[in-house]
Chain A
Amino acid sequence: MTDWPSLPFLALLLPLLGGTVILLARPLGLRLQRVLGLLLILGLLFVSVDLLEVAFEQGHRVYALGNWDAPYGIVLVLDPLSAMMVSLTSVLALAALWYAMASSIDRQGAHFHVLFQIQLFGLNGAFLTGDVFNLFVFFEVLLLASYGLLLHGGGRLRTRGGLHYVVINLIGSTLFLFAVGALYGILGTLNIADMAQAVAELPASDLAPVAAAGLLLLVVFAIKAAFFPLYLWLPGAYANTSAPVAALFAIMTKVGVYAIIQVHGTVFGPEAGELAFFHQPFVLTAGLIGLGMAAFGVLAARGLKNQVAYLVLASVATLLVGVGLNTPQALGATLYYLIHSTLIAAALFLLADILAKGRGPFADRFESAPPMPNAVWLGGFFLFGAVAMTGMPPLSGFMGKVFILDAALAHDWAAWVLGMVLVSSLLMIVAMARSGSLLFYNTQETVPTLGQPLNAKALVSVTGLFVISLGMVVFAGPILGMTQAIADSVYDVGPYLDQVLNAPTQDAQWLKGGH
């Protein structure tokens, strides 16, 4: 299986065709749709593990769509970073889908499973593409699926959050086209590798417009990733949607971060001459300010889901700080933190939904409510999640933050980075301790419980994600070694350009030789 040349393409084909099959299977009942959805995700998991193996053994791997060589054809590029993101997406999707089935959220409206698969198609496409305009198209695919998922189930607040989300993302799409158009007008290409070469040979008179277009592209990714001034849509959208969708959307902000690492890291990478890494100070500043704002949001939240949404913002801001530090060591630590924060944020969204169901009409609001069923167990889960998310020892959040801070020591802004990360962590610990005591201790003991009994099947998803977090602590050394290797490959742009542009694609050889 590992020497199958169209392996990167399989990660796109599986959810796209699978989603279509699920759509056609709708008259045969939800049970069949569920089985198909689960099988597809398991298949995707299998493919993504294979992708990871191939990417680490053979480095970059190029698949030319329609067998047209780059830069004229559109290519899919498999590198260690994209393989890692695809694997992370499939793990997250498995947990979210299992929760949706166990708590019957997929029953609340039509086409949940179809949209879910199309969402995965868009995500994997955005991770694997090697062409900026193709990235735009995959962004639109994943956004359109996400609009449907976000509004799944309906409700007044959900519609309001959804409307804001849709409008801001449509503005983002328009800006994306402006940026792509401007870059094409000057560089004359849209293939990421080819653009990197064009930027390296740019005459001095064209530097300013390319820099402006690059920053416009940064704004687009900033909207997706919810950077400091552009994050206001996120809490309303994430806090009001259904739990499995919010859990899956934990990866959506990371798509923006990934795009900055991949597109800006390659086009404005170490070989870009005057423009090398010119965007990084902006990223670092936005990350630092955003971290502070997110910490205040966590303190001010009046419900647990809203609080978790602000925690997602804080984790994105921490990632941006790590990216902005601009060293391979910092990027390795950031990618470790990216895996951790995505999985734990998803687990917390799911847990918040379980808690809200246990509290009946009081839902997730920080008010005195009758005690929930199995409060001791759920309290233990909440403690685990809070400790992991805020970055207290001994869980994976602590490891991630220590690695990032360690990498920050050499930077000029070390004092600012250390101060901001540590103070915001303290604020978040205080806020989470307060919400834990409000949810579990401040109860109306005399009133019988109003909530639903614990849904043990749904809790399996949360448990699974927490176990991965524990695994990330036990195997912190090997995992950090892996993310470090990925970071080194991102900073070593040469092989990427070489594979995409110079080597005739392996598939072409395979097709000509074998058939």
Chain B
Amino acid sequence: MEILIAFVIGAMTASGVFLTLRGRTFPVVLGLTLLAYAVNVFLFAMGRLTVGLPAVIDPTQGGYADPLPQALVLTAIVIAFGMTAFLIVLALKARSEMGNDHVDGLHLSEDEASLKDTLPPKSRKATRKARQAHKQEARP
């Protein structure tokens, strides 16, 4: 079980780190969420992995599961939840104020690229019209 848990934490952390290093805000939010999941499982594992044991000391049972990490995880979940909500709102605000969802805001070339991606493709008719207007302008 230890190896499985370790792989789960490792995979989530690796994906989280990869996503946080992306250039757009939404992958960054996702990455932070994954990191928070990873750290929650990690905290849990730090109380040592036990199966079917109560968190309260019970003389009839063979042992007990460490209750402290469970309390820590509970606190960490609540905090991470609140922070993620705040970050999503902030990312939306940044999207509307900076014109695109790049974490650094308006890079001109990046920005044009993003506009091309987000706007619907122009219809063929509109393109032909624009070309004709251009030709007429070009004539004396």
Contact = CB atoms under 8 A, between A and B. Distances in A.
Interface of A: 133, 137, 140, 144, 147, 151, 154-156, 159-160, 162-164, 166-167, 170-171, 173-174, 177-178, 180-182, 184-185, 190
Given A160-B104, A163-B90, A178-B42, A171 B72 contact: no
Given A147-B86, A151-B90, A174-B36, A184 B46 contact: yes
Interface residues of B, number: 33
A29 B123 CA distance: 54
Contacts of B86: 144, 147, 166
Interface stretch (B53-61, B92-100, B111-119, B128-136): B92-100
Interface string B62-99: 00000011001001100110110011001101100110
B87 A166 contact: yes
Contact of A167 (B28, B45, B47, B68): B28
Given A140-B79, A167-B103, A182-B46, 19 more contacts: A133-B72, A137-B79, A144-B86, A151-B90, A159-B98, A166-B87, A171-B32, A173-B80, A173-B83, A174-B32, A174-B39, A177-B72, A180-B72, A181-B42, A181-B69, A184-B43, A184-B46, A184-B72, A185-B47
Contacts of B90: 147, 151, 159, 162-163, 166
- Report whether over half of chain A's contact residues are helix, strand or loop; otherwise say mixed: helix
- Report whether over half of chain B's contact residues are helix, strand or loop; otherwise say mixed: helix
A343 to B, nearest CB: 31
Contacts of A185: 45-48
B41 to A, nearest CB: 10
Contacts, number: 83
Given A156-B97, A159-B97, A140 B42 contact: no
A514 B63 CA distance: 40
Given A167-B87, A171-B32, A159 B93 contact: yes
Interface in B29-45: 32, 35-36, 39, 42-43, 45
Contact of B105 (A156, A174, A190): A156
B36 to A, nearest CB: 6
B46 A181 contact: yes
Given A166-B87, A167-B103, A171-B20, A181 B28 contact: no
B75 to A, nearest CB: 7
A178 B80 CA distance: 14
B39 A164 contact: no
A164 B91 CA distance: 10
A167 B20 contact: yes
A166 B25 CA distance: 12
Given A163-B94, A181-B42, A174 B75 contact: no
B35 A171 contact: yes
27 contacts: A137-B75, A140-B83, A144-B82, A144-B86, A147-B86, A151-B93, A155-B97, A156-B97, A156-B105, A159-B94, A159-B98, A160-B105, A164-B103, A166-B90, A167-B87, A170-B83, A171-B20, A171-B32, A171-B35, A174-B39, A177-B72, A178-B42, A180-B43, A181-B39, A181-B45, A184-B43, A185-B48
Contacts of A182: 46
A2 B112 CA distance: 65
B43 A181 contact: yes
Contact of B39 (A133, A154, A177): A177
- Sorted nearest first, the 6 A-B pairs with minimum C-beta distance are A185-B46, A181-B46, A177-B39, A181-B43, A174-B35, A160-B105
